[in-house]
Amino acid sequence: MSKKILIVGSGGREHALAWKLAQSSQIEKLYVAPGNAGIAEVAECVDIAVTDIDQMVSFAKNKQIDLAIVGPEIPLMEGIVDRFNNEGLKIFGPTAAAARLEGSKVFSKNLFNKYNIPTASYEVFDDIDKAREFARSFVTSDKSVVIKADGLAAGKGVIIANTVNEADEAIDIIMKDKSFGEAGNEVVIEEFLTGEEVSVFVVTDGKDFVYLTSAQDHKRVFDNDEGPNTGGMGAYTSPPIYTEEIHKRTINEVIIPTIDAMEKEGNPYMGVLYAGLIITSEGPKVLEFNARFGDPEAQVIMPMIKGDILPLFEVAVDGKLKDYQIDSENGVCICVVLASGGYPGEYEKGKIIKGIDNIKPDNIVFHAGTAVENGDFITNGGRVLAVVSKGNTTLEAIENVYEEVEKIYFEGMHYRKDIGKKAVR
């Protein structure tokens, strides 16, 4: 049976999903709304904003979409899954209530506390003076403190403070200046945990789950994890820090208890569950959950899944994941993000991109912020492209990807030169 599939989103994550789904023999027509210039090569792009849920519903009805798959977090928080469900349309992703795992740090931390899911010790505040007082007590006892806006803040609502002044400034930015809007009405203040971060991905139907892989993102804009946070400058699969022992503990102490907790709370979670962990001397602890694939992690996950991925999404939506299995490719997959000069601050658009055609066939270039002008790809965002390569080892994958990165050029292009080096060290 030929199927019509809709992907919601416009970035590198959605290009990776479209690239993988376009290989399915079951799909007659693949739409992406709104998509981007690279996605247009594998799917039909539809000019609907990710937050225009009314239009998404109308489009899905008119085109008789068999399944919608949501990429970014904002439409999930705004209830796109609830709306599709109410209209009898199939959609892969958590409801608005379940997506609070990502959308509200207060909700998630309180859930962890109630169900003994390992995380940093914390307190929640809606009063700026009490928040300052608590944060000061943390840093004056010779510890760093982490201050988080409750809601979504485009990856920028988490601030680490090492001094009293830094703590006061962070709280002012979030709660007084309202730099992240309503997301800063409440803050979570928690202990700073020492260790290495890792991302773990599963797909769940609300009861059962399928483990996909682990990956390590590189958030800071410059080499050696320096500079401001970004949406992610690169990623690679199977980081050595994520050992078999850590995997067992993560599944038993984090993934299963979280899925069970959400069901017990009356918010069963269906979709991608993305655990952002820190591996401490005491074992894995949860820094945060995300309610969707990571970006750029999706760009290294998709090439590592063997065969057709569509059935995985379908059985999750139908609640039939029990005993379902996927096969994974051997080796390591790595991606390096090519960003506009100035990102994550101000940057210029409209720079002509050269060299994509020179990439070897067994490598992939996923588009994030691109457009087409006079037949040329041009830059149209902060993160522009992700170059993806594989290798039998991390070192081989690193060598492969940087050989390809050097073939691409646009004015002001910036990328990190140390993606994956932690694994080699």
82 and 134 in a single domain? The answer is: no
The CATH number of whichever domain residue 393 belongs to comes to 3.90.600.10
312 HSE (CA, 13 A, CB side): 23
The pLDDT tens digits for 12-25 are 999 999 999 999 99
Q: Where would I find the H helices in 141-253?
A: 164-171, 244-250
390: tokens are: 């594989």
The pLDDT tens digits for 213-246 are 999 999 999 999 999 889 899 999 999 999 999 9
Number of structural domains the chain divides into: 4
pLDDT reported for residue 393: 95
Last residue of a domain, one of 40, 69, 93: 93
Share of the chain above pLDDT 90, in %: 80
The pLDDT tens digits for 251-293 are 999 999 999 999 999 999 999 999 999 999 999 999 999 999 9
Q: Which residues contact 177 (CB under 8 A, 6 or more apart)?
A: none
Structural domain range at position 145: 127-185
177 and 221 in a single domain? The answer is: no
φ/ψ of 43, rounded to 5, equals: -155, 170
Last residue of a domain, one of 288, 317, 346: 317
Last residue of a domain, one of 45, 67, 93: 93
pLDDT reported for residue 410: 97
| CB 339 within 8 Å of CB 360 | no
The pLDDT tens digits for 139-194 are 876 788 889 888 887 767 888 888 888 888 889 888 888 888 888 898 888 988 99
88: tokens are: 């009898």
- Other beta carbons within 10 angstroms of residue 257's beta carbon come to 17
Determine, yes or no, domain membership for 108: no
The pTM (predicted TM-score) of the whole model is 0.94
Determine, yes or no, domain membership for 106: no
Determine, yes or no, domain membership for 122: no
Burial of 143 (0-12, 13-18, 19+ CB in 10 A): exposed
pLDDT reported for residue 362: 93
The CATH number of whichever domain residue 140 belongs to comes to 3.30.1490
219 and 292 in a single domain? The answer is: yes
303 and 398 in a single domain? The answer is: no
Q: Minimum mean pLDDT among 1-10, 127-136, 199-208, 371-380: which range? A: 127-136
**Apex CA 99: angle with CA 94 and CA 102, to 5°?**
135
Using the predicted structure, report yes or no on whether residue 423 has a pLDDT greater than 90. no
pLDDT reported for residue 33: 98
Pairing of strands 271-280, 364-367: unpaired
